[in-house]
């Protein structure tokens, strides 16, 4: 028996930020990053909050938020006597706020604090998921947290907030959306509901990511990619992810590569690994992964007369999309030296196999499989 819960109320489209004006008499704890302050983006929140509210702005968020920042935020949240949390920013701000909410419950007994997530990038889908990724900077490890207690009660998807996102970040985050959708679709926990969400997200990415990349002011493309990010987030919140994210969480931290970019470089190689599926390898029949990838190819209108050709068509389409948005396709192109790869490869393989996302991969990997993928990624 599967249980599906989609708890967040979604406010979508141009003008969605106006929802904030409906809150009254709250002590509002705003989690964001320094860029949101410097750019003035934070004013889009402040200006819409009613004068009956009091605000505290916690803006110490950095990319891949470390445990120390989350701890600092929990202390500030408690001292302010918060009764509404608003996170505005990319995945790092939302993930940090989710972790703060979780630890405020566990450490301070602060349950039932309403939480609003406002993404300013179209990538993580964090506004509708039970996942948060927190980093240990000393160990160069990312820890995925999973708890329904972190789910936002509301998500505001306003495309005007992503108009100014630079093209390279649009590409990185857009490829993250695609990876979420594909991994959810082939996950061993996939079902009809997650499939429907993932299918729509994939179609939107292929149709609108190149447009959003080329012209940030294309509001239709921005809105479609924002929606795709949310749809893919819902899909993987139901079905979870796979080895792609299992490796990316570890390798991205060690190589200092942006999460979406790391996922994109991995994606063709993980598909190839999962589709090369023989009896005795995993939890499902030997052809399931290849068949599912071929289904994706058909959904995207690609040539897929049989599973093997469908997989090949999908991989080629992904590579073509990467070229359209000027994504690097190898670790070498990402600036990783071979000596660093040799130094890190064993610990990356070990960490990837322990990552919770890997548990739902359609093929059960061994350490040598991860090492082989890393070698192919270096100079493909």
Q: What percent of the chain has pLDDT over 90?
A: 81
Q: Quickly state the pLDDT bin for 323 (edges 50, 70, 90).
A: very high
Per-residue pLDDT at 277 exceeds 70? no
d(C-alpha 28, C-alpha 88), whole Å: 12
Query: Which element (helix H / strand E) includes 270?
Result: helix 259-275
Residues 149 and 166: beta-carbon distance below 8 Å:
no
The phi, psi pair for 89, rounded to 5°, reads 150, -160
Nearest to 324 by CA among 211, 234, 164: 211
3-state secondary structure of 372: helix
**DSSP E strands, 17-102:** 27-31, 54-58, 84-89
Q: What angle do CA 238, 182, 163 make, to 5 degrees?
A: 90
d(C-alpha 69, C-alpha 134), whole Å: 10
d(C-alpha 281, C-alpha 117), whole Å: 40
- The strand pairing partners of 157, in sequence order, are 12
Mean pLDDT value across residues 347-363 = 95
d(C-alpha 340, C-alpha 194), whole Å: 38
**Range with the lowest mean pLDDT among 9-23, 214-228, 275-289, 292-306?**
275-289
Predicted local confidence at residue 83, as pLDDT: 94
d(C-alpha 158, C-alpha 163), whole Å: 10
What's the pLDDT tens digit per position in 93-150? 999 999 999 999 998 888 889 999 999 999 889 999 988 988 887 777 777 788 889 9
Predicted local confidence at residue 97, as pLDDT: 96
Measured on CA atoms in the order 73, 78, 80, 81, is the torsion positive or negative? positive
d(C-alpha 227, C-alpha 221), whole Å: 10
Whole-number average pLDDT of the chain: 92
Predicted local confidence at residue 278, as pLDDT: 59
| Lookup result for tokens 């992810």 | 241
């Amino acid at each position: 028996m599967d249980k599906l819960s989609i708890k967040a109320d979604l406010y979508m489209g141009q003008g969605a930020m106006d929802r904030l004006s409906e809150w009254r008499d709250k002590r509002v704890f705003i989690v964001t990053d320094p860029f949101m302050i410097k750019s003035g983006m934070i004013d889009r929140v402040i200006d819409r909050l009613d004068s009956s509210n009091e605000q505290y702005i916690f803006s110490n968020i950095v990319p891949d938020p470390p445990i120390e920042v989350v701890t600092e935020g929990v202390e500030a949240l408690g001292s302010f006597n918060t009764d509404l949390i608003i996170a505005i920013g990319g995945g790092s701000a939302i993930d940090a706020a989710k972790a703060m909410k979780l630890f405020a419950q566990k450490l301070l007994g602060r349950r039932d604090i309403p939480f609003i997530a406002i993404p300013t990038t179209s990538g993580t889908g964090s506004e509708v998921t039970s996942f948060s990724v927190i980093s240990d900077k000393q160990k160069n490890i990312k820890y995925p947290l999973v708890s329904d207690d972190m789910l936002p009660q509301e998500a505001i998807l306003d495309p005007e907030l992503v108009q100014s996102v630079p093209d390279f970040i649009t590409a990185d985050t857009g490829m993250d959306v695609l990876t979420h959708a594909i991994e959810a679709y082939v996950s061993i926990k996939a079902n009809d509901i997650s499939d429907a969400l993932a299918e729509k997200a994939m179609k939107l990415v292929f149709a609108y990511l190149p447009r959003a990349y080329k012209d940030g002011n294309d509001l239709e493309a921005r809105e479609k990619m924002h929606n795709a990010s949310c749809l893919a987030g819902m899909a993987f919140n139901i079905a979870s992810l796979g080895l792609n994210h299992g490796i990316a969480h570890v390798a991205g931290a060690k190589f200092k590569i942006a999460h979406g970019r790391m996922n994109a470089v991995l994606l063709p190689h993980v598909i190839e690994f999962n589709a090369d599926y023989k009896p005795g390898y995993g939890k499902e029949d030997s052809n399931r992964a290849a068949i599912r990838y071929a289904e994706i190819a058909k959904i995207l209108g690609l040539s897929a007369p049989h599973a093997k050709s469908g997989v090949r068509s999908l991989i080629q389409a992904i590579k073509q999309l990467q070229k359209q948005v000027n994504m690097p396709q190898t670790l070498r192109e990402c600036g990783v030296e071979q000596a660093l790869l040799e130094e890190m490869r064993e610990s990356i393989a070990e960490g990837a196999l322990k990552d919770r996302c890997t548990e739902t991969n359609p093929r059960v990997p061994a350490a040598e499989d991860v090492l082989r993928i890393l070698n192919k990624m270096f100079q493909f």
